[in-house]
Structure 1
Amino acid sequence: MDIKMEENMAEHVVMTPKKKTSQKTTLMIQRQKVSRPLPGDSKVHIAGGDHQGIIINKEAAADVEDPVPQQASLEFRVFLVSAHTGKHTQENRRLLFWFHPDMEENEVPAVAQQFFRELVSPQEFPRDYVGFIKKIMKLMQHKYTKISKLEVELSQLDETNEAPTRPLSADETALGKIVELTEDKVLEMIESSYPNPITVGDIARENCWVESDVELILAELLNKGLIKSLDHGAYTRVIVKQMPTIASAKQPTIAIVTAQYCEKLAVDAMIENKETFVRYTTV
């Protein structure tokens, strides 16, 4: 696409394929003022309606490294399920951020983290590639206007026939003992899974409980406002408030993030002059 930079041109969010191999795909999404391509141009797709302002380049750009290094990067892994073979593929997704020059350097990490949290929110996580890329572009277009460019690296890792297992905290099940079905135990499992939702079937299978009995417990927790139901029969913890903002004077030199209480105790035993912040406070 022939892009001309002029003052009177409208700003668009433009997605361009950058590099693709059998195991890795790189996409570049950037904010640009561009001239509107001709409607018959087969090299681009011009979005309309609710997606107006988005342009998709169909041809790959030259794989030239940006002379300006990225200002932030975040990555995570997902498991993809093939509709044809049923196999599970682990994929690493990496986001590289560039911001507008007027963006304060000390604001970059917080904005990148907030963008990342919205992108991977369990309640609205895109189920396919199209939805994933579209969500990135819409967030850039309407909310995170200080992001000038994002590169998305999608790298396929291992492939397996078995579904991945969700880790839970150690309990009496691991010792071969019968675990009593109680509200506290079900709530503990939901909290261990957070921020990922967990289904009735997952809860019941973990401790060989009857699903109908688990549903009664979940109904009680719902009435108490401790959990909330999501799509597909899943449940997650209700969060009361977020972690307070850390003052600049208290920024840690080393930050260790733990998910389980037992992990926190292990870290506390090894480190002196420490301070603990709880990411989420629950009722």
Structure 2
Amino acid sequence: MPHQKAVVKTTDMPDDMQQFAVEVAFAAIKTGADNQGIASYIRDAVRHEYPGNWHCIVGTNFGRMVGRVVTMTPRTEGKVKTIQVVRDLSPDPSEVYHKGGGHLNGIIVNKENSNLCNDSETQEIQLEFTCLMHNSRTEEGHAENRRLKFWFIEDTDHNRKLHDSYDFFKDLVNQETFPKDYVGFIKRMLKLLQSDRYPNLRRVDLDIVPLEPCSQDAFVPEVDQRPVELVVREGLLRTLEDAYPNVLSMDDLIRLTNHDDTGLLVKQLKELETTNFIQPVCIESGSEKKWGYRRKLNVLHKVEVIAGAAKLKSISDEQKPTVAIITNLLCEKLAVDSLIERKTTYIRYETKGDSNVYTIGYIGSVKVISVKLPMVGWERQAKISSSGIVTRLLGTFQTIQHVILCGVGGGVPHVYEFKKHSRLGDIVVSAPSEDSSCPDSSQPWYIFCEAVDYVNGNASPNADGDTSQQKQQEVAFTHKKFAPKNPILLTYAKALLEAGPTSWHPIIEEGLNNLKDHEFNFNRPPAETDKLKIQIGDEMIVDVKHPEPPGEVPPPPLVRLGCIGSGHAVTQCQSFRDLFAVNQNLLAYDTEFDQVLASLLGNGVGSFLIIRGIADYAEGRQGTDAGGASTSWQPYSALTAAAFTRALVLKLPSMESPSHFVS
């Protein structure tokens, strides 16, 4: 008997009516009737039992009730326990161990069946994860590796399989409903398959593999054990690095680091000054001088401090760079600058307003200029600042024809699709989201989400970032889309990919050699630190396995072409971030560069590209707050992006004459 696909949801019926209908469905199955007969049997029984509520069930597809009966069959093979859950149209009464009642109506637990070990039906989708579970009886925790295997009804679209299986997993580990004990987890799995939410799923298997006790250490929630002085000092340094080359006052530092202990801040600032990381700057003279602080740039190449617009204009007239490389983090600029030859850094300091730092030199025969933006991100003042700096850059250096935004970003997990799933250190290059092989200015390369709203309600997540209404209400994203008018840089990037990793991987080693004595550690972190973790509430962490490559793949880092997204409205909420990424087919997120792109387009720059080295699975800035998580992948990922950028620029003509310009 073929499985019946859901057509009409039954969620408008009262719970007691639904439970009664499920019981009737189970009884009807035993009669051997076909789906149409079973549906008629249920309809008549419900109408007889609830004559006053007939209006609740008009239009209901009672054939759907057949799919509300699910069976669970356990088996054990060695240390591996498997739980098989099936939407069962014809359960065998001789195999039934227990039939659920009440809110578990329609759930049947079969006797353990060792014959399942010979099951030859290969799963269509598989997801593997590890979690730390709690035994409510012994009050002990144990780490388990779990494999979810999915089977679908016939003619289910492949993309639907991917979305349903991952959504099922996310529902299963939802922080609001995630059960920490074994029995609760199985019940949750049964109820999800029994629900109307996944009509295309017909079977889900769960393999449970216990891990050694030592494996549990990886799932204990991380607690920062460092002294508070060190945490504050690192937070101050990160904040000043973000702001470089700007000066920050004490009031700025208190606000940005969220520390109001002025004495502690002053002490740690003195420590950073002593170690030559920062320098104090007088920002107000008079009877009581007011001091600010600036990150100190420690480089070996020539640095020239300039004053006045006239000097900057003369530099522009003399240098005439044709490619601009825009960075945000200090490690990003240092990585880019390490791969520029015959360079000079020009710094124009301001005690109030924005300072500017430009490094001008050569990549091959192409003259380039790299610039660092101070504090790109969510604050309105920072966004206005970044837009203004780009406008001044283009106004001062009017020979710029191409712009590359180079730095770190956050990968969007695609746990089933290796071709879309970037690991830490990999690179995502902005490209059309629908078909990267056919550049089209009408297709977005970068999408910025301005706001998230429910169609009927408020979409603001609570303090824990939960948006539990999302499953019941339609979510609307207000967004802006960006694409260059000229895709020439993407054309060169594709040519670089076709040439293979040997065309640009050696540049990473070149950069490492140039940066080996630097205060940042640009070496690739250990592979075991690349973990895809999902936080479930305050205590539970689920470690999801990365997808396996389909065959032989080049050595890392790999490069993928696809759309990049941003927007504080989505990146600060796990569910919104996932949903927006699916809706827009995103491969990565970064911090908000919408104002930068708007400035480029507004100033007539039609050729730009965004190159992001993946530093985390958020937006590339995870852990940059004081006391935040590790940022160990940022320098290396910044270097991989810089290496690919250099290889790309090497493919460009020198553009010494206007005949090479492309607008």
**TM score, norm. by length of structure 2:** 0.29
1:1-283 superposed matches below 5 A: 7-8=34-35, 10-11=66-67, 12-21=69-78, 23-34=79-90, 37=93, 43-81=96-134, 88-142=141-195, 143-159=197-213, 164-167=219-222, 173=226, 177=230, 179=232, 227-228=463-464, 239=573, 241-243=576-578, 244-246=580-582, 258=617, 260=622, 262=631, 263=633, 266-271=636-641, 272=644
Ranges in structure 1 where 5+ consecutive residues have no aligned partner: 188-223, 274-283
- Alpha-carbon offset, residue 77 of structure 1: 1.4
CA distance in 2, matches of 1:19, 1:122: 29
CA distance in 2, matches of 1:161, 1:70: 27
- Alpha-carbon offset, residue 71 of structure 1: 1.2
Ranges in structure 2 where 5+ consecutive residues have no aligned partner: 1-28, 39-65, 236-253, 260-459, 467-536, 540-570, 589-612, 624-630, 646-663
- Alpha-carbon offset, residue 141 of structure 1: 1.0
Contact 1:78 1:90 in 2 (8 A): yes
Name the structure where helix makes up a greater proportion of residues: 2
CA distance in 2, matches of 1:185, 1:76: 35
CA distance in 1, matches of 2:216, 2:173: 24
Contact 1:87 1:161 in 2 (8 A): no
Contact 1:86 1:161 in 2 (8 A): no
- Alpha-carbon offset, residue 76 of structure 1: 1.5
User: Structure 1, residues 62-114: CA drift from partner, whole Å, max 9, x if none?
Assistant: 03444332111112212234567665421111101111112111221111111
User: Structure 1, residues 7-43: CA drift from partner, whole Å, max 9, x if none?
Assistant: 246442110012243x321111111102584xxx784
CA distance in 2, matches of 1:151, 1:126: 18
- Alpha-carbon offset, residue 123 of structure 1: 2.3
- Bigger Rg over Cα: 2
Q: In the superposition, relative to structure 1, how do residues 165 and 145 fare at CA in structure 2: closer, same or farther (>3 Å)?
A: same
**TM score, norm. by length of structure 1:** 0.62
**What is the number of residues matched between the two proteins?**
224
- Alpha-carbon offset, residue 247 of structure 1: 7.2
Q: In the superposition, relative to structure 1, how do residues 264 and 153 fare at CA in structure 2: closer, same or farther (>3 Å)?
A: farther
| 3-state DSSP of counterpart to 1:67 | coil
- Alpha-carbon offset, residue 266 of structure 1: 3.4
Report what 1:205 is aligned to: none
Between 62-71 and 46-55, the greater mean CA deviation after superposition: 62-71
CA distance in 2, matches of 1:161, 1:148: 33
Q: In the superposition, relative to structure 1, how do residues 6 and 89 fare at CA in structure 2: closer, same or farther (>3 Å)?
A: same
| 3-state DSSP of counterpart to 1:26 | strand
Report what 2:525 is aligned to: none
Q: In the superposition, relative to structure 1, how do residues 35 and 75 fare at CA in structure 2: closer, same or farther (>3 Å)?
A: closer
CA distance in 1, matches of 2:257, 2:118: 52
Alpha-carbon RMSD: 4.4
Name the amino acid aligned to 1:151: D
